[in-house]
Amino acid sequence: MSRENILHRVRTGIGRGAADAPAPAPPVRLRIPEANREERIASLLARVEALAAMAVRSCDPAGVVAELIEGKTVVASNAPFLAECGVTALEGVRSGITDGEELRDLCATADCGITSADYALADTGSLVMIAGPREARLISLLPPMHIAVVPAERILTGLDELFTLVPNPAEVTSSMVIITGPSRTADIEQILVRGVHGPGKLAVIVAG
């Protein structure tokens, strides 16, 4: 069937002719629930734990990270918050890498990747990672363990609030990744396997 025949059938189905302009798009419907800081934090931690990941709230995130990475090879992103809370100063943590090939080699051999997150979503326990020089995608996707250190003030209620803050992600980044729990799949005989397409272990540390 030709392209024009397909388009004709679609137009006929919606009551339009070839010369008719399409109707304007309906208004965006966003609903942001009311939730205070403590409610957002509690919801995020509960959702992360429900996804079989580790969830911790701490005023000393660097101390929590130090325990998790003991004896491991580690690469950390260039997110300023990781330096502010002392994570990048921990022994054995490699950070400040700007060369793409060097970063790829490190991520391919590291036991753990540490990032911050641009946002976290309280209703699903998801991390929102906006790719850029500060947050390279490989660090959260390639090592078998991902640790995310998130400031409490970056926790949003959900996608609706996210898209009020970042309505057009393509204008600010080549990739906005939403990570919900450790990597998992049940494609083969419905048997759940973790770590197939990304880190099999995830730890989310809420700072504050």
Domain for residue 6, yes or no?
no
What's the rounded mean pLDDT across residues 95-108? 95
End-to-end Cα separation, the chain, in angstroms = 60
Per-residue pLDDT for 185 more than 80?
no
pTM: 0.84
- Which residues, including other chains, have CB under 8 Å from residue 180's CB and lie 6 or more apart? 51, 124, 125, 126, 127
pLDDT band at 72 (very low <50, low <70, confident <90, very high): very high
Domain for residue 79, yes or no?
yes
- Which residues, including other chains, have CB under 8 Å from residue 102's CB and lie 6 or more apart? none
Domain for residue 186, yes or no?
yes
Rounding to the nearest 10 degrees, give the CA dihedral for residues 103, 166, 52, 145.
10
Confidence (pLDDT) at 28: 76
Q: In what order do the strands lie in the sheet with 176-179?
A: 155-156, 119-121, 126-130, 176-179
- Phi, then psi, of 78 in degrees rounded to 5: -95, 20
Per-residue pLDDT for 136 more than 90?
yes
Give the residue with greater pLDDT, 26 vs 60.
60
Confidence (pLDDT) at 79: 97
Confidence (pLDDT) at 93: 97
Domain for residue 197, yes or no?
yes
pLDDT band at 190 (very low <50, low <70, confident <90, very high): confident
Number of independent structural domains in the chain: 1
For residue 171, the enclosing domain spans 34-207
pLDDT band at 192 (very low <50, low <70, confident <90, very high): low
- Please give the Cα distance from 104 to 87 (Å, whole number): 21
pLDDT band at 29 (very low <50, low <70, confident <90, very high): confident
Confidence (pLDDT) at 8: 84
Query: What CATH number is given to the structural domain containing 107?
Result: 3.40.50.10420
Domain for residue 95, yes or no?
yes
Q: What percent of the chain has pLDDT over 70?
A: 94
Domain for residue 128, yes or no?
yes
Confidence (pLDDT) at 12: 86
Chain segment 141-182, per-residue pLDDT in tens = 999 999 999 999 999 999 999 999 999 999 999 999 999 999
Per-residue pLDDT for 60 more than 70?
yes
Domain for residue 47, yes or no?
yes
Domain for residue 20, yes or no?
no
